[in-house]
């Protein structure tokens, strides 16, 4: 049976009514109208659906709504806007770190959670942090450069 959940997304309390086992991805996209998290595989293999849940980069395609609880959720939209982009978003634009851009939500959100823990990573550490995020266009080096430029405070 559908239940009503009060969740905190991008700094605002939101009320959604859905089955508790609904993958959080569909709540973010369809109930809250967010475009950042993307459906890629539904299997937690590619990372396109990543959002940050209480500081953890989380694959929302396999994360049930009922598990969100009181956690603070941040999506790509919660970082910044075209007018006021977050440092990572600005870096991805500066490095032109996208081709199709479908995986980029996962890259930025995974990098955000990673950089919050490791502010001065090496290139190898960045590659390791993104090891479970798939990009098919071959934009990898631009993504690494963008993440590194934020880590260096550029």
Partner 1 sequence: MNPNSGTLPFAREYSRRQFGQAAAGILLFFSMNPGTVLGQIAPGKLPVDLETNKRLDSWLRISANGTVEVFTGKVECGQGNITALAQITAEELDVEFGRIRMRPADTSHSPDESYTAGSASIEVGGSALRYAAADARVSLLEMAAAKMRVPIDSLTVNDGVISSSAGVGRVTYWELASEGILARDARRDVPLKTNSNRHIVGTSVPRLDIPTKVTGGEAFVQDIRLPGMLFGRVVRPPSYGAQLAAFDDTSAKATPGVVAVVRDGRFLGVVARREEQAIAARAALQRAAVWTMPAELPDEARIADFFRNSTDAQVMTVSSRSSGAAAPTAARSLKATYSKPYLAHASIGPSCAVAAVENGVLTIWSHTQGPYPLRTDIAAAVGLSLDKVHIVHAQGSGCYGHNGADDVALDAALLSRAVGGAPVKVQWMRDDEFAWEPFGAAMSIDMQASVAADGSIVDWQYDFWTNSFVMRPGLPGGVNLLAAWHLAQPFQHAPPGEIPLPSGGGDRNAVPYYDFPSQRITEHFLPTMPVRVSSLRSLGAFGNVFAIESFMDELAESAGADPVEYRLRHLTDDRAKAVIRSVAERANWRSGAKGDGTRGRGISFVRYETTKTYVALIADILVDRESSTIRVERIAAAADAGLIVTPDGISNQLEGAIIQGVSWALKEMVRFDRKRVTSRDWASYPILTFPELPEIDIVLLDHPELPPLGAGEAALPPVPAAIANAFFNATGKRLRDLPFDRDRVRAALT
**Could you list the residues that contact partner 1 (CB under 8 A)?**
2, 18-19, 22-23, 26, 29-30, 33-36, 38-43, 45-46, 48, 75-77, 79-82, 85, 89, 92-93, 96-105, 108, 126-128, 130-142, 144
Least CB distance to partner 1 at residue 59 (A): 13
Side-chain half-sphere CA neighbours of 30 within 13 A: 11
Measured distance CA(44)–CA(152) in Å, rounded: 30
CB 111: neighbour CB atoms within 10 A? 27
Least CB distance to partner 1 at residue 60 (A): 12
In terms of CB distance, is 8 or 39 closer to partner 1? Answer: 39
In terms of CB distance, is 2 or 69 closer to partner 1? Answer: 2
In terms of CB distance, is 119 or 128 closer to partner 1? Answer: 128
In terms of CB distance, is 20 or 55 closer to partner 1? Answer: 20
Q: Provide the token pair at 50.
A: 């990543």
In terms of CB distance, is 14 or 102 closer to partner 1? Answer: 102
CB 147 within 8 A of CB 86: no
Least CB distance to partner 1 at residue 133 (A): 7
Least CB distance to partner 1 at residue 89 (A): 5
């Amino acid at each position: 049976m559908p239940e009503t959940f009060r969740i905190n997304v991008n700094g605002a309390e939101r009320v959604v009514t859905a089955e508790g086992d609904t993958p959080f991805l569909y709540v973010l996209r369809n109930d809250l109208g967010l475009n950042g998290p993307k459906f890629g595989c539904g299997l937690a293999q590619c990372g396109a659906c990543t959002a940050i849940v209480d500081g953890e980069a989380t694959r929302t395609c396999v994360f049930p709504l009922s598990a969100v609880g009181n956690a603070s959720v941040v999506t790509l939209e919660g970082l910044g806007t075209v007018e006021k982009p977050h440092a990572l978003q600005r870096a991805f634009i500066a490095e032109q770190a996208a081709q199709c851009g479908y995986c980029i939500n996962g890259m930025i959100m995974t990098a955000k959670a990673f950089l919050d823990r490791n502010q001065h990573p090496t290139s190898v550490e960045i590659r390791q942090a993104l090891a479970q995020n798939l990009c098919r266009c071959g934009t990898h080096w631009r993504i690494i450069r963008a993440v590194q430029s934020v880590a260096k405070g550029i």
